[in-house]
Amino acid sequence: MNSNDYVKYITQTVVKYIDQPKDERKRHRLEKKDTKEPFLFKWFGVVPYVLFESVKKRKKNKS
C-alpha cells in the first residue's frame, strides 16, 4: 500500500465519520462500549473472571 492509497483511505474514513449525524455517532460509541469484554476476561482469560464473579456473588449473598 503506497502513501497515496493510505491518505485516500484515511480521508474517506474521516469524511464518512463526519457525515454521520451526531446522535448516530454517540449511539454507535455506546453500543461499542456495551459490547466490550470485561478487563479481566480480555487480558487474563476465563479463570480470573470466574473467580472474581464468584467472590462478588458470595459478598452479595452475605449482605
Q: What is the pLDDT of residues 2-50, one digit of tens each?
A: 889 999 999 999 999 999 999 999 999 999 888 888 776 777 777 887 8
User: Does the pTM of the predicted model rise above 0.85?
Assistant: no
Q: What is the pLDDT of residue 48?
A: 80
Give domain limits for the chain. 3-62
Establish how many alpha carbons lie within 13 A of residue 19's alpha carbon, considering only the half-sphere containing its beta carbon: 6
Q: What is the pLDDT of residue 63?
A: 63
Q: What is the pLDDT of residue 19?
A: 93
